Structure 1
Amino acid sequence: MDVKHFKFIERESLNRICKPRKGETKLGETIQIGSEFTQSTAKFVVIGIQESIGVKANLGIGGTHSAWQAFLASFLNIQDTHKLHGEKIHLLGTFDFAPIVKEAGSAEDFRQLVPLMDEAIAPLIEAIVAAHKIPVIIGGSHANAYPIIKGVSAAKKQAISVINLDAHADFRPLEGRHSGNPFSTAKKEGVLADYCILGLHENYNSQNMLSEMDQQKGIHYYFWEDIYLRKKITFEAALQDFLQLTTQNQCGIELDTDSIAGVLSSAKTPSGFSTNEARYYAYQCAHQLLPSYFHVCEAAAELETGQKDSGTGKLLSYLVSDFIKGVIEK
């Protein structure tokens, strides 16, 4: 299958990353690979997105392109056990959009490039879902939520619902594509049905955007402050409220890592959900819903400022394995 800007993973590359150990079996030894994912017996197809274009188009700090390789280094070296078998997972490869950046420098330059990513990503997601598999997408900016939703919607021939753990609604005006408006774009295009956001930060969502969301049908949200400062509702109750809203529908599951306290990202926050809450979210959404995809974005192993976090890959690995377990343990 020919996919623009996509690199299929090869056994040689995988073997360089996976570190076998006598008496143990690592996921990298049993995971399925190859370009012909439609013939795979795996239920999950894992793909990466290496880009910081959407972040820079939204006036942010680049670094989200670094998450995929960090994820692979951890994920391929977790244990293959009766709780998680590699044969259930097809590791396809990664989009690498570095070649299209060229001389881009301003936010407007990067906004001109985001539609090129949309055009490349949506058809592959559509093909994966049409093959009755669940795409798991790791890395890159939140701009990519739009082509993912578009691809799933095309395969399902209907608008889909989405639940999002995020400090930001990413429902900004359509002023050119970037990581701040994937969901407003999807809503305008008619591919997004219900949209539920858990954990918005009051300091970083504009009144204009909130007012716009309030006027739209099917948009629901809870502020982090209402959960933890005012104690109007518990995290568990808020999550269950959204799960009940979307439980009968095919639902995309989004997890923006800038909602997790201390995780390296363009919008790194000192205050937010814990890693344990994020893991619980990933598992419960997978376990209770009919997940059409899982998208973990905005994380970075290294920002362009030079900041690094050696734990990023391990966190992403936990989130993906939790999601997969949530589906298979139904």
Structure 2
Amino acid sequence: MQGFQFYSKKDIKHLVNKRNGERKFGENLQFVSSLDELEYLAAKYVIFGIPEDVGVRANFGKPGTSNAWKTALKSLVNIQINRFNDPDNLILLGHLDCRHWMDKASSIDEEDPNYHAKLGDIVKEIDLKVATLIEKIISGNKIPIIIGGGHNNAYGNIKGAAKALNTPINVINIDAHTDLRQLEHRHSGNGFSYAIEGQFLRKYTVFGLHKNYTPEYIFEEMDASENFLYHLAEDILEHPEEAIKKLEKSIEIAGQSKFGLELDCDSISDFPSSAKSPAGFTVNDIRSFIKVASENKNCSYFHICEAAPKDENEAQVGKAIAYFISDFIR
């Protein structure tokens, strides 16, 4: 696939910290050199990265989500292989080569009155690549795990999954925001709006929505449609013992047909992300949610987005994402 960097074992060898008597994930992961090879491997999951933050910047946000993939990869390849962790069911695909788009975005003058719209044009190009990639993976009877980039990539995930399955899909989004903003230029805040407009998304559930950062017109739109469901973070956090029950009910509804699982790291309290918040779920909350969602046979993909690590916290961010990945495939 043009524009995609496929990995081999030698590409991650320098990341694996070997020790006598131990085996790490990076030593036993599977690789392919083309998407056509996926159907010949028994592994169920395919993981890849999207190192971009163009969509976040197009949404007036802070850059940094482009760093999540390399940070997560360092931790993922150093997970211990033991009775609880088996990498044989995971194919490490590689990453979408976003350098052209990142360079193109950086060349746009921020004082340009059309700055954000021009970034949106770049996001549309990324959309096409992501959708094609997801469609290929799911058509090969695999479950993609997508790491990095902004939540703009939800649109490509949903579109690609719907085309592969030949039907609109449902989505459960663990998020502080709905990302249902208006159909203006493409950005990280309207991926689900575009998915609905394109008839790729049927039932949409937001789990952990924050009262303070949701416009009234979006609340009204969600209340008016039977295809929208949301659970407010404030209600969930006030009664944490009910959180899993509420999520299980959401999954019961969404999981009656194929659905995607979206995790926006903005939903995690004090997590380094594009819209870091002092309020939200804990990492352990998220791990419990992932476990419940992944057990449903109709879960068709898992997307972790909006993490924005820096040098001083990249190790912790990487470990957290590696926990999320291992919980999902376990």
> TM-score band, normalised by the shorter chain?
over 0.9
| Number of corresponding residues | 319
**SS state of the match for residue 180, structure 1?**
coil
Q: Is residue 166 of structure 2 the alignment partner of residue 157 of structure 1?
A: yes
What residue is the counterpart of 1:147 in the other structure?
Answer: 156
Q: Do 2:71 and 2:314's aligned partners in 1 also have CA atoms closer than 8 Å?
A: no
Structure 1 residues 249-295: Cα deviation after superposition (integer angstroms, max 9, x where no partner): 11101110110001101100111001000011111100135210000
In percent, how many aligned pairs have the same letter? 39
Q: Output the CA distance in 2 between the equivalents of 1:307 and 1:75.
A: 19
What residue is the counterpart of 1:46 in the other structure?
Answer: 47
- Of 106, 111, 123, the residue aligned with 2:132 is 123
Q: CA deviation at 1:216?
A: 3.1
What residue is the counterpart of 1:267 in the other structure?
Answer: 275
Q: Do 1:45 and 1:91's aligned partners in 2 also have CA atoms closer than 8 Å?
A: yes
Q: Output the CA distance in 2 between the equivalents of 1:80 and 1:226.
A: 38
**SS state of the match for residue 199, structure 2?**
coil
Q: Output the CA distance in 2 between the equivalents of 1:217 and 1:114.
A: 30
What residue is the counterpart of 2:21 in the other structure?
Answer: 23
Structure 1 residues 229-267: Cα deviation after superposition (integer angstroms, max 9, x where no partner): 4x4982122212201212321110111011000110110
Letter in 1 for 2:271: V
Q: Is residue 264 of structure 2 the alignment partner of residue 256 of structure 1?
A: yes
- Of 314, 323, 326, the residue aligned with 1:318 is 323
Q: Do 1:64 and 1:266's aligned partners in 2 also have CA atoms closer than 8 Å?
A: yes
What residue is the counterpart of 2:96 in the other structure?
Answer: 95
Q: Output the CA distance in 2 between the equivalents of 1:264 and 1:228.
A: 20
Q: Do 2:255 and 2:299's aligned partners in 1 also have CA atoms closer than 8 Å?
A: no
Q: Output the CA distance in 1 between the equivalents of 2:26 and 2:279.
A: 34
Q: Give me the TM-score of the superposition, normalised by structure 2.
A: 0.93
Q: Do 1:243 and 1:289's aligned partners in 2 also have CA atoms closer than 8 Å?
A: no
Letter in 2 for 1:85: D
Counterpart mapping for 1:106-255 below 5 A: 106-229=115-238, 231=239, 234-255=242-263
Q: Is residue 293 of structure 2 the alignment partner of residue 292 of structure 1?
A: no
Q: Output the CA distance in 2 between the equivalents of 1:232 and 1:30.
A: 38
Structure 1 residues 148-189: Cα deviation after superposition (integer angstroms, max 9, x where no partner): 111111110001111011000000001111100111111111
Q: CA deviation at 1:99?
A: 1.5
- RMSD value, Cα: 1.6
Q: Give me the TM-score of the superposition, normalised by structure 1.
A: 0.93
The runs of at least 4 aligned residues of structure 1 exceeding 6 Å deviation read: none
Q: Do 1:153 and 1:191's aligned partners in 2 also have CA atoms closer than 8 Å?
A: yes
What residue is the counterpart of 1:83 in the other structure?
Answer: 84
Structure 2 residue ranges without an equivalent (≥5): none
What residue is the counterpart of 1:328 in the other structure?
Answer: none
Q: CA deviation at 1:307?
A: 6.9
Q: CA deviation at 1:309?
A: 4.1
Q: Is residue 284 of structure 2 the alignment partner of residue 276 of structure 1?
A: yes
Structure 1 residues 100-124: Cα deviation after superposition (integer angstroms, max 9, x where no partner): 2321342222111100001111111
